[in-house]
Amino acid sequence: MKANKFPLYIPTKGRFEYMITSKALTEMGLHHYLVVEEQEAEKYQKAIQEYQLTSEILVLDNQFKKDYELCDEYGLTKSTGPGPARNFAWDHSIKKGYEWHWVMDDNIKMFRMMYKATRIKTIARSIWTQMENFVLRYKNIGMAGPNYSMFAVPHKGLSPFVLNTRIYSCNLIRNSLSYRWRGRYNEDTILSLDLLKAGWCTVQFNMWMQDKLNTQTIKGGNTAEFYHKEGEVLDGHRYAVTGTSAKSDMLFKVHPDVSKVKIKYGRVHHQVDYHLFKKQKLILDENNKISKTNKNYGIVANDPNLLSEIK
C-alpha cells in the first residue's frame, strides 16, 4: 500500500469544530499538518484529540503575514486570506527536504475516483501516489491537483486530466518554483496564472476528484473573513450577495490581460481565458524512473459485488 511521497498541509482558521478535510485524510490513514494561528492552536489541538485525527499542528509564523504580497492597498486592516499560511507550508516542506508539497482547503469532505463514468468515493491512500507519479513524469509541471467532482461530469469528451488551467483547493506544488502565493483573494487563480505565464504547465485531474462543501456554508475561513464581512446576507439566504466582488476585482487588477469581471446568477464572478496556454506541452523528464506498468496501485472496491453493478 503506497501513500503520498510528499507532505500534506491544511491551512485553517476558525473551523476547529468541523475539521472536515482532516477527517477525510484521517479516514485514509494519512498524516497531515494543520497550519493554524497561535491563538487557535489549543482549540485545534483539542479537536484533534476529540476526533482522533492524524493531524499535527504547525503554528503560523506571523512574519509570513507581514511579508505577504496582498496585491491591494489595505495592508493588514483586512484579513490576508490563507495565502501566508500556504507560503509558510511551502517553506516548511522545503526545510523538511521535500521537492513537492500538497496544500489544501479545510472543507474537503471526501475524495473520489472516476470508474466507468461514475464518481466513486475513495479512501485509498495510493491515489496520492498516483497523482504524484503522473506529475513526476514531466519536468515542466509546476502545479497539479484533483478537480471538483461536481465539475468532472462524465461524458464522452471528458479527459482524465486538463492541461494548463486553474488548480484550486487541493494543490500539489513543485517546491523549487521561485513564485509564492500572493493576493488577498483568488490566490489559486493568481498562482496558476503566474505559473502558466512563466511557461510552466498545470494539470487538473478528472480521474481523481475532491468533494468540497459549498462556499459559505460553514463558519470560519473565507466565509467569516471575507464573504459575510464584505457582503450582505439577505434574510433567508446562505450566501452573501456582494462579498465576492472585491475578489473578482483583484484578479482583474493582477492579471488584466487574461481576466474579465462578470455578473452571473446575481453575483460577481471572474472569468479567465486559459486558451492562451493550451499549447504549452508537457515535457517528459528523462531522469524519471517511475514504472508505467503499475496501473491501479492495488486499489480495490470494498464490495466487489456492488462494483460489478457499474457497467
Partner 1 sequence: MKNAITESEVKDIEKLKPFKNNPKFHPPEQIKKIRESIRSWGFTIPILIDEESNVIAGHGRLEAAKEEGMLQVPVLIARGWTEEQKKAYVIADNKIAEKAIWDYDALKELLDDLDEFHIDLTGFEKLELDSIFFERQLGITDTGVEWQGMPEWDVESPAFRKMTINFEDEKSVSDFFELIGQDFTDKTKHINFPYKPNRNLKNIFFKDEGQ
* Nearer of residues 44 and 205 to partner 1, judged by Cβ: 205
Residue 59 · residue 29 · CB < 8 Å: no
Q: Which three cell numbers stand for residue 122?
A: 475513495
Residues numbered 89 to 128 that lie near partner 1 (CB under 8 A) are 113-118, 120-126
Is 256 strand, coil or helix? coil
C-alpha span between 110 and 122 (Å, rounded): 8
Beta carbon of residue 126, minimum distance to partner 1 (angstroms, whole number): 5
Instruction: Fill in the per-residue mask, 10 to 49: x = in contact with partner 1 (CB under 8 A), - = not in contact.
Output: -------------------x--------------------
- Choice from 179, 218, 252, 274 touching partner 1 (CB under 8 A): 179
97: left (phi over 0), alpha (psi -120 to 50) or beta: left
C-alpha 100 chain-centroid distance: 14
Does 189 sit near partner 1 (CB under 8 A)? no
The position carrying cell 501566508 is 84
- Give the 3-state DSSP-derived string for 75-108, with helices as H, strands as E and coil as C: HHHCCCCCHHHHHHHHHHHHHCCCCEEEEECCCE
Name which of residues 157 to 176 contact partner 1 (CB under 8 A).
Answer: 158-161, 163
Whether 228 contacts 216, CB under 8 Å: yes
Amino acid at 216: Q
Minimum distance from residue 300 beta carbon to partner 1 (Å) = 5
Question: Which of residues 78 and 121 has its CB atom nearest to partner 1 in the complex?
Answer: 121
Among 45, 54, 245, 280, binds partner 1 (CB under 8 A): 280
Residue that is written with C-alpha cell 492597498 in the block: 73
CB 221 within 8 A of CB 12: yes
- How far, in whole angstroms, is CA 151 from its chain's centroid? 14
| Distance, CA of 188 to CA of 207 (rounded, Å) | 20
Which segment (42-50, 77-85, 197-205, 223-231) binds partner 1 by CB under 8 A?
197-205
Angle between helices 187-198 and 245-254 (to 10 degrees): 20
Based on CB atoms, which residue is closest to partner 1, 49 or 293?
A: 293
Please state the closest distance from residue 45 (CB atom) to partner 1, in A.
27
Q: Which of 61, 69, 91, 230 touches partner 1 by CB under 8 A? A: 69
Q: Is residue 204 at the binding interface for partner 1, with CB under 8 A as the rule? A: no
Minimum Å distance from CB 293 to partner 1?
6
Q: Which cell numbers hold the place of 99?
A: 521537492
DSSP H or E stretch at residue 228: helix 228-230
Per-residue interface string for the shown chain with partner 1, residues 281-310, x marking contact by CB under 8 A? xxx-------xxxxxxxxxxxxx--xx-xx
What is the spatial distance between Cα 242 and Cα 259, in angstroms, rounded to a whole number? 19
Q: Which is nearer to partner 1, 153 or 234 (CB)?
A: 153
Contact set for partner 1, span 126-155 (CB under 8 A): 126, 130, 134, 140, 154-155
φ, ψ of residue 242 to 5 degrees: the values are: -125, 0
Binding-site size, partner 1 (CB under 8 A): 65
Residues 238-267 that bind partner 1 (CB under 8 A): 253, 256
Residues that bind partner 1 (CB under 8 A): 1-2, 29, 69, 71-73, 113-118, 120-126, 130, 134, 140, 154-156, 158-161, 163, 178-179, 194, 197-200, 207, 253, 256, 278-283, 291-303, 306-307, 309-311
